[in-house]
Structures are given as C-alpha cells and as structure tokens.
Amino acid sequence: MKKWKLAMMMLLIFTLSFALIGCGGDDDESGNGSDEEKILIFGRGGDSVTLDPAKATDGESLKVTANLYENLVTYGEEDTSINPQLATEWEVSEDGLLFTFKLREGVKFHDGTDFNAEAVVTNFNLWASDLESYYYYNSQYGDGNNGTIIEEVKAIDDYTVEFKLTRSQATFLQNMAMDSFGIASPAAIEKYGEDFKKNPVGTGPFKFEEWKEEERIVIVKNEDYWKEGYPKLDKVIFKPIADNQARLNALFTGDIDLMDGISYTDIAQVTSKSEFQMFERKSNTIGYLGLTNTREPLDNKLVRQALNHAVNKQEIADAFYGGYAVPAINPMPPLINGYHEGVEDYAFDVEKAKSLLAEAGYGDGFEMELWAMPVPRPYMPDGRKVAQLLQKQFEEIGVTAEIVSYEWGTYLDKAKAGEADAFLLGWTGDNGDADNFLYTLLGKDNIGSNNYAYYGNEEVNDLLVQAQTETDTAEREKLYMEAQEIIKDDAPWIPLVHAKPSVAGKENIINYIPHMTGNESLEKVDFK
C-alpha cells in the first residue's frame, strides 16, 4: 500500500515537471528569427481608437496609421523639416496663396487603385465637408468661423494638385506633414463608409491585416511599396499593455520587442542589461515653472530673474528623468525651427539670485505658493517631486514656497484664472512649429487660454502675430529669435527641462529612430 502511494507520487512529479518544461520552450519564437518571417512586436500603453488618421486625436491611433498612410510632404527623420513624400516637389506663389504640388507617379494604394491628383482632391474635400469629425483639419486649417483657409483643391492634371488659400499661412506645409493628413484610397472610403476606420487603406510601407480590440493590431509588409527595398520587416504587431511595469516585464521576458511609455525611474534597469537598449526620442516638449506675472511679488521682473538664478535644472533632469531630459533655456525645444541658440540662460547662482532679490526690495525673501500637478505628464513624470526640489532650491535664497496640489481639472482651471503664484506645467508640440509654442503659451492674446503665466508683453505679441503670416522662412525665424530674447529677459517662466519620452527595446533592433512627434514609420527598422 505504501509503495503504491510512493509510485503515484513520483508519477505526479514527473508529469508536472514535463508539463512545466513544455511551457518554457515557447518563448524563443518571438521576434528575431533571421531566416523566417521578421516580426516585430511593439508594446504600448493603450489600443488605437480609430485607424482613420484624419479622425484620430490620440497618439496611439496615429502610431499605427503612420505606417499605413503617407502624406504629400513629411517631416525629416530626426526633426520637423519638410521633405517630399507623395509629392515630389512643390511651388508657392509670391503672395503665399497658391501651392502647387507635383505628385509621385506609379504609386498604388493597398487595394490596387492608383494614387493620383483626384485622390488628393477627394480626401481634402471629405475633410472640409465635416469639420466637427475631422478635428485636426479644423484646428490646423480652420479659419475659426466654421470655414477653412483652403478655399479650393484642384486637380490640374493626373499628377498635379493646386491648393488655393483664402489667406497665407506660414505653417501650411508644416501642418500638411502631420500624421493626421495621410491620403486614403477614395475607393476604400466609399466601399467601407462608416467602417473605414477599421479597414484602413493607404499607400504606406505596411498593409493592414487584423485588429482585435484591446488585444492586437497586425500590419504586414506592403510588397508593392514604391520605395525600393522597404520595408525591412514582414510583420508588425501592436500590443496594448496598460501598466508601465507590466509592459517592461513583457519586454524582459521576450513577449514584446519594443515598448514605449517607460517610466523614467525604470530606465536604469534597461541600460544595465546588455540584451536591451534605449532609443532616444528627441524632445518635443517643455516643462516649466510659470511665474504668474500679475501677482505680487512675481510682477517684479527682478524677482522672476532671481528665481531663475536659484534653480539647478541639471539636478532635476538627472533626478527625475533618468538623464533623459535636457535643461531648457528657451520656451521651446531646440529642434524647432527658429530656436535661438544664442540666448544665454540664467546661470545657477545663489549669490546673484540673492542680490537681485535685495535689489527688488525682498532682501529678506518672501512667501509664495508653489503648485505641483497631481498627475504624471509626458513633459513631467512627477510634478510633486520636482516641486520639492525647487522648494529646497528657493529656500537657499530665502524664498519660502508652500507646495500645493489640486485635482488635475481644478488645477488647470485655477491656474488659467491666474490664482497660482508659481505653478508647474508643460506643453507637447502639435506640429513642430515655433508658433505652437511661443504664441500659444506666451502670446498676450492667449491670456485666459494657454498663457497661464499672464505674460502680457505687447511687443512680443506683435512679433509673434507678425510671424504667423510671414512666409519667408528666414524672416520668420528672425522674428521668433527676437521674441525669445525679450522673453528671456522678462523671465515670465523658469523653463525647466525638455523631456525625451524614450523607447526601450531589444538589443538586436536596428535603424529605429523614434520621431519627436511621437509617431514614426517603421519602414527602415530591422533585426540584426
């Protein structure tokens, strides 16, 4: 009887251990097989909402469509310069009201229909027909009165399109390159109607294959892609994993090959392992401490300058961004056209700060509130910690800051109403243009909107408005540089850091360059 029990026990143990060994074997299959299909699994924080880029307003949707669609023009691989894509060349009339594009010939949509001038006209007319649904078309090309500044899109011949504008817009091409304005197959739009968002058809390097909601989106190589030799991968699978830590674990166990949205505090774990690497995404953000210019004693320029001198920005970048951030000097990141390299930052100098305070009549310091956002933002993962560091640094010059947080919605409302003394906030650029940072955040016209600091310098506002209609690039940049110089002197903020929301991936991935807009085509990505 006893022997029989023992035998059963042994049998059970054997069966169990074999079953477990079997489980372990599957892991090696994902990714990297060199002879077989090259499959890349991209882990991300959320699923797409739609695969119709023109209707998408979230980054997760555009991350996929950037591989399915192409625009007339596109951004540079590492910056927001304008480069040809579906258009090979273009001309602008003297008054900036007429754009003529020459289109690439021989390009086909994934459904086999031809890409031509008629297709471009159809897309633009569709977007103009429903400004409410096509959010970005309205925000970038709308005239603010339920119309658009694009008066007419005309097919001159099969491969020439002409855009007639009602008024000149300096950022016309810059906007055109946004992922939202990918050209879709008119035949497919007609065929699928409402269901088009789940059956995307473009001209991009990858074709849509399958979308299982909240589980995966699969896109496969477009064999007829017009760019010879691309894409390198056979298949890309986008897999949503909501929790940052769980996604990181999935990367470590080999379930996914790439992940975005890594917590800055986890970067050290990736860089310490030789099988993994970080891909740096260039910054398109600014995190800053606004100094509400209308509140005492921050209405005194000397006080604002003194506070600028008191802050050690490098310390913030190192402590809370894992080094994946650069200290900010101007109110916009360095890769934006018109960024002023020559502006000198207020040096970290406690003595200088104290003497400026004394000069302003606050030799004994003062008390103020220091607002910290309660939620992680792309430009600042932990506002309350940055606030503690700033609090300590201000203490050195005799300024007592009390840290205050409100629920996020309340926080924004109150700051917008000018109720904060000093407040942490930031911005992520939409179209990579200086206007989207400087005018939006610091133009006097935007007080009560995004100009939370109540910075009301008329001269700066005039320069920024002038730049909006200036079509000569060099002239335009000059206006922005002039504005940045004045802004630096006025010190409406303490610009803190430009965060780099980077991507972690396996060591054998090559040619992956995360783009500063947050979305990129994976056509060149390959495995070693």
Partner 1 sequence: MSQVAENQSPLQPSSQHDEVVSPWLDAWRKFRKNKLALFGAITVIFFIILGILSPWIAPQGINDQNMANTLQAPSSSHLLGTDDFGRDVLSRIIHGARISLWVGFLSVVGSIVMGCLLGILAGYYGRWVDTIISRLFDIMLAFPSILLAITIVAVLGPSLQNALIAIAIINVPNFGRLIRSKVLSVKQEEYIMAAKAIGMKDSRLLMKHILPNSISPIIVQGTLSIGTAIIEAAALGFLGLGAQPPQPEWGQMLAESKAYITTAPWTMIFPGLAIMLTVLGFNLMGDGLRDALDPKMKH
Q: Residues in the site for partner 1, rule: CB under 8 A?
A: 245, 263, 265-266, 268-269, 315, 318-320, 372, 374, 382, 384-385, 387-389, 391-392, 402-407
List the one residue out of 107, 86, 447 whose CA is nearest residue 290: 447
How far is the C-alpha of 324 from the C-alpha of 502, rounded, in Å? Answer: 8
For partner 1, the closer CB: 402 or 459: 402
How far is the C-alpha of 84 from the C-alpha of 101, rounded, in Å? Answer: 10
For partner 1, the closer CB: 77 or 402: 402
3-state helix, strand and coil shares in percent for the chain, rounded to the nearest 5: 35, 20, 45
How far is the C-alpha of 497 from the C-alpha of 242, rounded, in Å? Answer: 26
Shortest distance in whole angstroms from residue 342 CB to partner 1: 30
How far is the C-alpha of 239 from the C-alpha of 232, rounded, in Å? Answer: 20
**Cα 391–397–402 angle (5° rounding)?**
30
For partner 1, the closer CB: 95 or 396: 396
Structure token digits, residue 279: 């891909």
Shortest distance in whole angstroms from residue 400 CB to partner 1: 12
Shortest distance in whole angstroms from residue 250 CB to partner 1: 15
For partner 1, the closer CB: 164 or 385: 385
355 Cα distance to chain centroid: 40
Shortest distance in whole angstroms from residue 500 CB to partner 1: 18
Shortest distance in whole angstroms from residue 405 CB to partner 1: 6
For partner 1, the closer CB: 168 or 388: 388
Shortest distance in whole angstroms from residue 403 CB to partner 1: 5
Q: What are residue 210's DSSP bridge partners?
A: 218
For partner 1, the closer CB: 30 or 265: 265
**Can you give the C-alpha Rg of the chain in angstroms?**
26
Shortest distance in whole angstroms from residue 319 CB to partner 1: 6
How far is the C-alpha of 241 from the C-alpha of 451, rounded, in Å? Answer: 35
| Cβ atoms of 280 and 500 closer than 8 Å | yes
For partner 1, the closer CB: 299 or 395: 395
Q: Answer whether the bond into residue 334 is a cis peptide, omega within 30°.
A: no
